[in-house]
Amino acid sequence: MNKSIAILISGEGTNLQAFIDAQKEQLLQGKIAVVISNQPQAKGLKRAQLANIPSDTINHKDFKNRDEFDYALSKTIDKYQPDLIVLAGFMRILGTPFVTKYQSKLVNIHPSLLPKFTGLNTHQKALDANETEHGCSIHFVTDELDGGPVFAQAKVKVSQQDNKHTLANKVHQLEHQLYVKCVNLLLSNRLTLNNQKVFYNNEPLIGTIGL
Active site residues: 110
* DSSP letter (8 states) at residue 60: G
C-alpha distances in Å from residue 177, one per residue of 18, 36, 135, 191: 8, 22, 12, 17
DSSP element (H, E) containing 93:
none
- Give the separation between CA 79 and CA 110, rounded to whole angstroms: 27
DSSP 107-163: EEEESS-TTSS-SS-HHHHHHHTT-SEEEEEEEE--SSTT-SPEEEEEEEEPPTT--
